[in-house]
């Protein structure tokens, strides 16, 4: 019902935000799958790590930028600056904290090609961020307390 009440000018920024979030979640799920496969299948470890790192750079980072840019654009249009609902706070926390996580994943992904310990941290951190994205997805779609 809330989407029905939105002005038409909000459609494109909202589309960008949702599209970026969906691709980000799918890219992170792929990253988790590949990073855990690299830990479990020793013969394919180098290939899975390389593919995970390429996925991070080619899918996850661009989708994060689209998701975050669309979020800021729609947030500015809604004019909720002084006090915003808790469901937006969850999205903002996961979104803004995501840049630190993605930077750490980029460093760990690069290190994983040379150091064995970095691959385990890469897999664990990517799984934790996927869970955080799932929580944000639920909060942004269910809008608890709204």
- Cβ neighbour number for residue 46 with a 10 Å cutoff: 12
pLDDT of 143: 86
Q: Please, which residues have CB within 8 angstroms of residue 111's CB and are 6 or more apart in sequence?
A: 118
Helices 61-78, 86-112: axis angle to 10 degrees equals 160
* Contact criterion met (CB below 8 Å) for 60 and 27: yes
What is the distance between the alpha carbons of residues 92 and 87, in angstroms, rounded to a whole number? 9
Mean pLDDT by 10 residues, the chain (146 residues): 60 93 98 95 94 97 97 81 80 93 97 91 97 95 82
pLDDT of 113: 87
What is the distance between the alpha carbons of residues 102 and 60, in angstroms, rounded to a whole number? 8
Q: What is the pLDDT of residues 47-84, one digit of tens each?
A: 999 999 999 999 999 999 999 999 989 888 776 666 77
Going by C-alpha positions, the residue among 5, 105, 92 that lies closest to residue 55 is 105
Query: If you count them, how many residues does the chain have?
Result: 146
């Amino acid at each position: 019902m809330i989407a029905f009440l939105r002005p038409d000018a909000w459609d494109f920024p909202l589309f960008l935000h949702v599209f970026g979030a969906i691709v980000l979640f799918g890219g992170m799920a792929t990253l988790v799958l590949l990073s855990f496969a690299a830990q479990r299948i020793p013969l394919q470890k180098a290939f899975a790590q390389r593919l995970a790192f390429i996925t991070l750079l080619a899918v996850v980072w661009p989708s994060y930028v689209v998701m975050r840019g669309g979020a800021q654009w729609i947030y500015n249009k809604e004019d909720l600056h002084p006090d915003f609902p808790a469901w937006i706070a969850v999205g903002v926390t996961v979104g803004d904290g995501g840049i630190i996580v993605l930077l750490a994943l980029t460093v760990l992904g690069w290190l994983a090609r040379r150091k064995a310990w970095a691959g385990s941290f890469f897999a664990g951190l990517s799984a934790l961020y996927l869970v955080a994205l799932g929580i944000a997805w639920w909060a942004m779609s269910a809008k608890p307390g709204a």
